[in-house]
Amino acid sequence: MIELSTTLRLSNEFDIPFIYDSWCRSQHEIYPNKYMDEYSAHYHEHIRRLLDDSIVAIACLDDDPDEIISYIAYTSFRDNFILHYAYTKVNARRQGNINKLINYSNILHAPLIFTHPPKNEKIMERIIKRYIFDPSIMELIGNNEK
């Protein structure tokens, strides 16, 4: 595996289509989402609501800032870092990009709570040992289904 040289930045309007598509496709693979009728339309609306109240940090290629390698969508609530979603392209995984983005974004080193599970159960098993998984916190911070 080739180590990619990346730059961290905040998202812009041109990144949004990729974020919607990758987030929606990834979550579709999680049970029971793949069995829901009209999943994509409903989930795009859910993502839109979250993104309206969140910040997105991106790891892109050094020599091509439009080539997104990883991203995280996050906010904060009561001295906690709320990580809604993290994504890395398959060929760039296991290079620490998500950890770099978390460190870049969570400058106060606040406790991390994540709200959406990864599609890979093995990853879920690893991250629940380090962080809190609590999707219900979205109701408290106003990111529930409005």
- Predicted TM-score (pTM) of the model is 0.86
Q: Is residue 41 part of a domain?
A: yes
**Residue 25, pLDDT score:** 81
**Residue 144, pLDDT score:** 43
CATH code of the domain containing 35: 3.40.630.30
Parallel, antiparallel, or unpaired: how do β-strands 6-10 and 55-61 relate?
antiparallel
Q: For residue 104, give Cα distances in angstroms to 47, 137, 141.
A: 22, 23, 22
What spatial distance separates the first Cα and last Cα of the chain, rounded to whole Å?
43
Is residue 34's pLDDT more than 70?
no
- Summarised one tens digit per residue, pLDDT across range 71-83 is 999 999 999 999 9
CA–CA gap between residue 109 and residue 104 (Å, rounded): 10
Q: Is residue 17 part of a domain?
A: yes
Q: Is residue 42 part of a domain?
A: yes
CA–CA gap between residue 14 and residue 11 (Å, rounded): 8
Residue 19 lies in domain: 6-141
Phi–psi pair at 11, nearest 5 degrees = -70, 165
Q: What's the structural domain count of the chain?
A: 1
Q: Is residue 1 part of a domain?
A: no
Q: Is residue 91 part of a domain?
A: yes
Q: Is residue 146 part of a domain?
A: no
